[in-house]
Every structure is written in C-alpha cells, then in structure tokens.
Amino acid sequence: MPRRDGVLAVRETAAAKDEARLAGGGSVFWDGRFVVRAAAGSAGRRYSVRRLGGDGWSGLAAADRSLRDTAIPGAARPSLPAVFDLDGIVAVPHLGYVRGGAFSGASPAFAAAFRPAQPLVRPGFAIVDGGG
C-alpha cells in the first residue's frame, strides 16, 4: 500500500491463517514469517500461535490504551503473531503485551523475530577485501 514516505508491504490478514502449537520453553516458525519463542520459565505450558486479528487488536487497544501508541502501522497489526491459551490472548510480542498474571518468570516471556522464508528483496552482498 502507498505511504507518504514510500510503500508499505503487509500480509493480508486473511492469508495469515496458520495456527501452530507452541510448548513452553520452545519455539515455532509461524506463517512462513516469524520465529516465536516461549521463555524456559513457561515449560510445561501449552500455547498456540495465530494471527492477532482485527477483533484481537480492538480488544487489546480498548483494555490497554497505551498499546495505541505503537509505531506498527494499523494495516500490519491484525496479522501480527499472537500467543493464545484457553483463556484467550496471552501475549503479542511485537506490542510488548503479556496478559497480567499469565506468566511469572524470566523476561521476556515471549519473543517473535521476523524471519521470512521468502523475503521481498534479495539479501545484500558482502564486499570482501583480499588484503592486497
């Protein structure tokens, strides 16, 4: 989508339909884009990772108004990875959100890194000095 300072490429929310199981203390590659990790202190717990979705974003933003200050563009928020348990959203690492009382232990409880399997651009190249 066009932006004032260039172009923003975001995942269509409907296309981010994968759901992955995440064991406490483990990691999972979700939606071909993110590596999501649960801290070792959450060992023995079971979670699922799926898109935050529009309703998820609306609920979080209403419950915690400080989340509205995120620099993440609105079009990208619904397709962010969110960690769920049987009670709902536990964490959204990119927003720094962890549900109160859901986790006690090492910090951060959950992390997500953008590691797309198919990046939009090719990786850069290295210039190697032959020492000559």
Q: Work out the percent of the chain whose per-residue pLDDT is above 70.
A: 86
The Cα 20–Cα 18 span in angstroms is: 7
Place of tokens 């953008």: 114
Q: Is the pLDDT of residue 25 over 70?
A: yes
- 68-72: long-range pairs with CB below 8 Å, 24+: 70/94, 70/95
**What confidence category does residue 8 fall into, taking pLDDT thresholds of 50, 70 and 90?**
confident
User: What is the amino acid identity at position 113?
Assistant: A
Predicted confidence (pLDDT) per residue in 38-91, tens digit: 987 776 788 999 999 999 999 999 999 999 999 999 999 999 999 999 999 999
pLDDT of 128 reads 64
> 54 Cβ partners below 8 Å, 6+ apart?
13, 78
Count the neighbouring beta carbons within 10 Å of the beta carbon of residue 24: 18
- Assess whether pLDDT exceeds 60 at residue 132: no
Query: Which pLDDT value is given to residue 56?
Result: 95
